[in-house]
């Protein structure tokens, strides 16, 4: 049986459960996977992470799968590494981390 010894933490920004709390559906290509996972994580972080009152609000996936990210500190560093400049600046003043509840509403986007 195959069991990976290390989980690629960016996979959590690529797996889809069709809820509002999940990343959007994407198609991945083996030759472009590294860049696609970076893009997925960047999009996920900048869409779902915010700072309010010195607290970083992270999606619950970072708490539930903290071990995959190297613990809470590793998750926070991964978030900072993928944050756009305004969010990265706001993360610099963070004193604590809060995990926001999962948004289980069904994600429906209709093309117009």
**Domain membership flag for residue 42:** yes
**Cα 24 from Cα 5, distance rounded (Å):** 27
- Predicted local distance difference test score (pLDDT) of residue 18: 63
Mean pLDDT over each residue of the chain, to the nearest integer: 87
Q: What is the pLDDT of residues 60-77, one digit of tens each?
A: 999 999 999 999 999 999
Task: Say whether pLDDT at 81 is over 70.
Answer: yes
- C-alpha span between 60 and 37 (Å, rounded): 19
The domain total for the chain is 1
Q: What is the pLDDT of residue 56?
A: 98
Asked if residue 13 is part of any domain, the answer here is yes
- Provide the pLDDT confidence category of residue 42 given band limits of 50, 70 and 90: very high
Residue 108 in any domain: the answer is no
Question: Can you give the residue range of the structural domain that contains 89?
Answer: 9-100
């Amino acid at each position: 049986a195959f069991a990976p010894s290390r989980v690629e933490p960016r996979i959590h920004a690529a797996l889809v459960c069709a809820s509002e709390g999940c990343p959007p559906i994407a198609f991945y290509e083996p030759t472009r996977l590294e860049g696609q996972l970076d893009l997925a994580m960047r999009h996920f972080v900048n869409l779902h992470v915010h700072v309010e009152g010195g607290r970083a609000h992270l999606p619950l996936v970072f708490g539930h799968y903290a071990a995959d990210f190297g613990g809470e500190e590793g998750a926070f560093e991964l978030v900072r590494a993928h944050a756009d400049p305004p969010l990265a600046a706001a993360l610099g003043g963070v004193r604590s981390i809060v995990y926001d509840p999962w948004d289980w509403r069904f994600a429906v986007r209709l093309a117009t």
